C-alpha cells in the first residue's frame, strides 16, 4: 500500500490518490493566496463501510469543478502518540478560491453524498485553512 504525505499539512494517509489531473502544492510559493484547504476527518459507525465511502467520495467529490488537489484515505499508523488516528477516513481538498469552495459546498454531488452518509457517521471534524502571506 503506498504512503501519501501532505506536504503543507501534518496529516498522513495510507492509500492511493484518486486519479485526477490535479497535483499537490509542492511549496508555499505554489499555493495561490486565494486557495482554501478543506480537511475532513470522518469517524464512521461501522469501519466495514470505509471502502464504500472512499469509492463514493472518489465518484462524487473528485470531479467537482474548482478542485485543485484531492486526497483521501485511511489513517497512517505512525506509532507516534501526538499523531491522531481516531478517525476512519480523511479527506483533503484544495480549492482555487472561496468561490470554488462555495460552489463545492452547494454542488448536488457533495450535498447528496453528505445526505446519503450522514446516518452512517459518528463524527466529522472539519478544518478549512487559508494560506497566509509570510513576511520575508
Q: How far apart are CA 8 and CA 130, in angstroms?
A: 11
Q: How far apart are CA 110 and CA 14, in angstroms?
A: 23
pTM of structure: 0.75
Residue 14's nearest CA partner among 95, 71, 80 is 71
Residue 6's nearest CA partner among 42, 37, 52 is 37
Q: Are strands 3-5 and 12-14 parallel, antiparallel or unpaired?
A: antiparallel
Q: Which residues contact 78 (CB under 8 A, 6 or more apart)?
A: 12, 85
Supply the pLDDT for residue 33. Answer: 83
Supply the pLDDT for residue 121. Answer: 98
Q: Which residues contact 124 (CB under 8 A, 6 or more apart)?
A: 40, 41, 42, 43
Q: Are strands 36-44 and 3-5 parallel, antiparallel or unpaired?
A: unpaired
Supply the pLDDT for residue 32. Answer: 82
- Residue-level pLDDT, tens digit, the chain, 136 residues: 333 333 333 333 334 344 444 444 444 446 688 899 999 999 999 999 999 999 999 999 999 999 999 999 999 988 999 988 899 999 999 999 999 999 999 999 999 999 999 999 999 999 999 987 554 5
Cell of 111: 450535498
What residues does each domain of the chain span? 3-17+35-129
Supply the pLDDT for residue 30. Answer: 67
Q: How far apart are CA 66 and CA 94, in angstroms?
A: 9
Q: Which residues contact 29 (CB under 8 A, 6 or more apart)?
A: none
CATH code for the structural domain at 3-17+35-129: 3.30.70.100
Supply the pLDDT for residue 39. Answer: 97
Q: How far apart are CA 98 and CA 34, in angstroms?
A: 7
Supply the pLDDT for residue 116. Answer: 98
Supply the pLDDT for residue 133. Answer: 56
Amino acid at each position: 500500500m503506498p504512503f501519501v504525505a501532505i506536504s503543507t499539512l501534518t496529516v498522513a494517509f495510507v492509500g492511493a490518490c484518486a486519479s485526477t489531473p490535479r497535483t499537490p502544492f509542492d511549496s508555499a510559493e505554489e499555493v495561490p493566496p486565494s486557495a482554501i484547504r478543506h480537511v475532513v476527518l470522518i469517524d464512521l459507525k461501522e469501519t466495514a463501510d470505509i471502502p464504500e465511502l472512499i469509492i463514493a467520495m472518489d465518484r462524487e467529490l473528485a470531479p467537482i469543478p474548482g478542485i485543485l488537489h484531492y486526497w483521501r484515505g485511511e489513517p497512517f499508523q505512525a506509532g507516534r502518540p501526538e499523531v491522531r488516528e481516531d478517525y476512519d477516513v480523511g479527506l483533503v481538498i484544495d480549492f482555487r478560491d472561496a468561490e470554488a469552495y462555495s460552489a463545492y459546498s452547494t454542488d448536488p454531488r457533495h450535498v447528496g453524498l453528505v445526505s446519503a452518509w450522514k446516518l452512517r457517521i459518528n463524527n466529522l471534524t472539519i478544518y478549512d485553512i487559508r494560506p497566509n502571506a509570510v513576511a520575508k
